[in-house]
Amino acid sequence: MDKFAFEFCAEGFIALPSGALFWPTESTLIVSDLHFGKSARQGQYGGALLPPYETRETLKRLDADMALTSPAHVVCLGDSFDAPRLEYFLPKHDLEWMIRLQAGVKWTWIEGNHDPGPIALGGEHLAELSINHLKLRHIATHDTGEISGHYHPKVRLKLRGRTISRPCFLWDQSRLILPAYGTYTGGLFCESQTLRRMMHTEAKAILTGQRPCAIPAFDLQP
C-alpha cells in the first residue's frame, strides 16, 4: 500500500490512502468524521435511504489501518457517530467490532457537532486534545498547529476527459484538515470560499486513494 509522508509544524506524519493520518513518533492514528450509523440515522429519523452496511465498511478500513500501523493511541476527531446516542441503534456485530478494536489501545473520542455528548463506548471523551505543541479538535479555529476535520475536503480533477472528485487532506503551514473517513459522507470542494478563507494560498491537497500525493489545493482546473 502506498502512502504519503510529510512534515507539519516540525512533526512527521503519514497520510494513508484511506484518509487516516499516522503520527509515527507518537504511535497515534488519527481519523475524522467516521459518521458511524449514518444509514441507521436516516432510516430512524427520515432522509434518503442508504445501503445499510456503511458502518461495517468504515470499520473494515479502520481495522486494516490499525493492523498496518499498530498504534498505541487512536484519536477520532469528532462526528464519529452521525447523531447522539446512535450507538444504541447499531447492530450488535458492529458494536462488538468497535469494542474489539479498542482493546489494548488508548482511545480518544473528540466531540463533534453531530455527537456533542459522551457515547456509550470505552475510551476518553474530550472537547479537544493537545499532544506536544499541536491541538486536535473537530472544527478548525485560527490557531497555528491544529489538526481537525468537519469540512470533509475534496478536490475536482480531470482524468482522461472526465471530471472526478476525490477526498483529500488539506494542509498548509498552520493547519491540517482531514478528509471524512466514513462511507457515504460527501464533502466540501477545496475551491469553496469557506476553505479558501481558512487556508493559506499555497495550501496543498493530499489526495486519498491508491497513490496519495500532494497537489496545489486551489486554482485547480477541473
DSSP classification of residue 108: E
**Which bin fits 210, alpha (ψ -120 to 50), beta or left (φ > 0)?**
alpha
The residues, any chain, with a CB within 8 Å of residue 31's CB and separated by 6 or more, are 19, 20, 21, 62, 65, 74, 75, 76, 77, 178, 181
Question: What pLDDT digit, counting tens, does each position of 121-176 carry?
Answer: 889 999 999 999 999 999 999 889 999 999 999 998 877 778 888 999 999 999 99
Q: Are 214 and 184 in contact (CB under 8 A)?
A: no
Q: How far is CA 8 from CA 14, 106, 174, in A?
A: 10, 23, 8
Quote the mean pLDDT of the chain.
87
Bridge partner residues of 36 (DSSP): 81
Question: What pLDDT digit, counting tens, does each position of 53-87 carry?
Answer: 678 889 999 999 999 999 999 999 999 886 656 55
Question: What pLDDT digit, counting tens, does each position of 93-122 carry?
Answer: 888 899 999 999 999 999 988 776 656 788
**Which pLDDT score, from 0 to 100, does residue 118 have?**
57
What is the set of domains in the chain, with CATH numbers?
A: 4-216 (3.60.21)
- What does the alpha-carbon distance between residue 16 and residue 1 come to, in Å, rounded to a whole number? 9
Bridge partner residues of 200 (DSSP): none
Q: In this structure, what C-alpha cell is assigned to residue 111?
A: 466531540
Q: Which range among 41-45, 87-91, 93-97 has the greatest average pLDDT?
A: 93-97
pLDDT category of residue 222 using cuts at 50, 70 and 90: very low
**Which pLDDT score, from 0 to 100, does residue 220 have?**
60
Inform me whether the pLDDT recorded for 221 exceeds 50: no
**Which pLDDT score, from 0 to 100, does residue 113 have?**
84
